[in-house]
Amino acid sequence: MDGNAVALVTGGSRGIGAAVALRLAEDGFDIAFTYVRGEEAAADVAGKAEALGRRALAIQADSADPAAAGEAVERTVRELGRLDVLVNNAGVGVLGSLEALTAADVEHVLAVNARGVFLATQAAAPHLGPGGRIITIGSCVTQRASTPGGTLYAMSKSALIGLNKALARELGGRRITANIVHPGPVDTDMNPADGPYAGPQAAMTALGRFGAPQEVASMVAFLAGPEAAYVTGAEFAVDGGHAA
């Protein structure tokens, strides 16, 4: 990537997405990122990226809206001039017993975690040139569903594995790579390391702790960088040994 490279991160105003956006800015990318709520948090991420000397574009867009993905991609290209890396990070989690999950739960989770990823990728692909990257954030539950209550979430994230492999084949001829990163328990405001369910989650990892968003961002940065040009169709666990 050259010094004008642009990355779009969906769900980039907090947690893993914010860490990814800022790490890519540190690595020399201009960044665009989407967010649903929290203008202050989005402005903070944009300000930090700009302090690193990079351009930053915060786009309010809900991945549950079928039109939002294409609009975010087109705005990124229009305002930042190009698109080199797409990071599909936006996601939601609805946990509960099989009997308790509603049709509305199913619709919402699949809309964001599966359909939203597909549509963002579909919109981005025509803009990616040789060396372009598609990096998708999956989940450790696709490798090991360690507790009850995660059927819907695990299904939605598992769909991304098949999408990733097919993308690698479809886009490989254009020298565009597609890879997926599976985080384990990560310390975010949605799932804090000192939260009520943190102890059992940490105990399920081989390292006995939560990960930091920056540790996931490091893997994404590697996949977005020049040393990963021959890596595609692959899955990478950043899970502290959750699946071991």
Active site residues: 153
Tokens of 205: 């990892």
H or E element: which one contains 235? strand 234-238
Tokens of 102: 């509603």
| CA distance to 36, 127, 163, 173, 200, per residue, from 158 (Å) | 24, 26, 9, 25, 23
Residues in the chain: 244
Does the CA dihedral 37-43-46-48 come out positive or negative?
Answer: negative
Give residue 87's identity as a one-letter amino acid code: V
Contact 61, 32 (CB under 8 A): no
Residue 129 CA to residue 5 CA, distance in Å, equals: 11
CB contact at 8 A, 87 and 10: yes
